[in-house]
Amino acid sequence: MTEIKKIAVLGAGLMGHGITQVAAQVGKYEVSMRDIEQKFIDNGMSMIRESLQRFVKKGQLTEAQMNEILARIHPTLDLKEAVSNADLIIEAAPENVELKKTLFREADGYAPSHAIIASNTSSVSITELASATKRPEKVCGMHFFNPPQLMKLVEVIKGAKSSDETIQTVLDVSHKLEKETVLVKKDCPGFIVNRILIPALNEAAALYWEGVADRDDIDKAIKLGLNWPMGPLTLLDYIGSDTTLAIAEVLTKELDPKFHPSTGLKQMVKAQLLGRKTGKGFYDWTQK
């Protein structure tokens, strides 16, 4: 089995910076974090520092430990530099299949032959992503949840050609990151969580836009009626309406028309009311 010593994370955004932090902080791995523009790298590093400082304030880390974690993170704009010595590459780019396939093709060309390439995708076919490489047996899904620093679950997804060794290695790394894992044995859109969650979020947006109930009552009903830790409209603001819409469209295309996104969800995206990432969604996050 491949021993994982160095990890490359492709993407410094909402998920990428969080995965980078967990790998460096909990797994104590050397991590390259790569993105396409310096502003994305700077923003990612800033969010990592802020998160680590919160751990320091709570007494869960010392200042020295924080600096050690930051020293293990190597930000870069150069894809070749990021992946050429990596044992595990975790792609965390936006939910765009062609963009991801291009990234997989390029990473495959630069990465050492033993390296595993995993995707943090929440909906795109692992088998399709693997087809862009010359190592489909070394490709799988490694789906973290937002925020990766706090959420305990990783879905590990087996593509049509993923080897058992690849899956076991990624399961082992996930456990080293102190995550709980579930194995998705068959590559299907949405995997386990999003296949169940996205229709629920879609219906919540529809209820709101149709005026069936007020925002706060929709969230209250699901929190108290289904014992969710947060309501679906709050959760939509955390995930982003755009990301939710992208997943719903993949599920509709690949699985069944029943996943068709509601007018309400589409309108939120058209209005750029994406949630926390834009400051406003179903809630106003600019004051929080």
Residue 125 known to be catalytic: no
Instruction: Out of 120, 194, 202, 241, pick the active-site residue.
Output: 194
143 is catalytic: yes
Q: 49, exposed or middle or buried, with CB in 10 Å at 0-12, 13-18, 19+?
A: middle
The number of helix segments (H) and strand segments (E) in the chain equals 12, 8
Q: DSSP letter for 33, please.
A: E
The ranges of the chain annotated as CATH 3.40.50.720 are 6-184
Q: Determine the topology of domain 6-184 in CATH.
A: Rossmann fold (3.40.50)
Question: Mind listing the pLDDT tens digit of every residue in the chain (288 residues)?
Answer: 779 999 999 999 989 999 999 999 999 999 999 999 999 999 999 999 999 999 999 999 999 999 999 999 999 999 999 999 999 999 999 888 899 999 999 999 999 999 999 999 988 899 999 999 999 999 999 999 988 999 999 999 999 999 999 999 999 999 999 999 999 999 988 899 999 999 999 999 999 999 999 999 999 999 999 999 999 999 999 989 998 998 899 899 988 999 999 999 999 999 999 999 899 999 999 986
| Phi, psi torsion values for 151, nearest 5 degrees | -75, 135
236-to-4, 12, 202, 239, 279 alpha-carbon distances in Å = 34, 21, 9, 5, 13
* Topology of the domain covering 194-270: N-(1-d-carboxylethyl)-l-norvaline Dehydrogenase; domain 2 (1.10.1040)
Residues of the chain with CATH 1.10.1040.10: 194-270
Determine which one of 32, 122, 123, 241 is catalytic.
Answer: 122
Phi-psi bin for 134: left (phi > 0), alpha (psi -120 to 50), beta? alpha
Write the CB contacts of 203 (distance below 8 Å, at least 6 apart in sequence). 262
Q: Which of 125, 155, 202, 241 is catalytic?
A: 155
Judged by DSSP in three states, 160 sits in coil
DSSP H helical ranges for 114-261: 126-130, 164-176, 193-209, 215-225, 232-239, 241-254
Instruction: Give the Cβ contact number of residue 196 at 10 Å.
Output: 10
235: Cβ–Cβ under 8 A, 6 or more apart, which residues? Answer: 201, 228
Order across the sheet with 88-91: list the strands.
73-76, 30-34, 6-10, 88-91, 116-119, 139-144, 153-158, 180-184
Q: What is the pTM of this model?
A: 0.89
Nearest partner of 69 among 90, 54, 84, judged by Cα: 54
State which amino acid sits at residue 171.
Answer: L
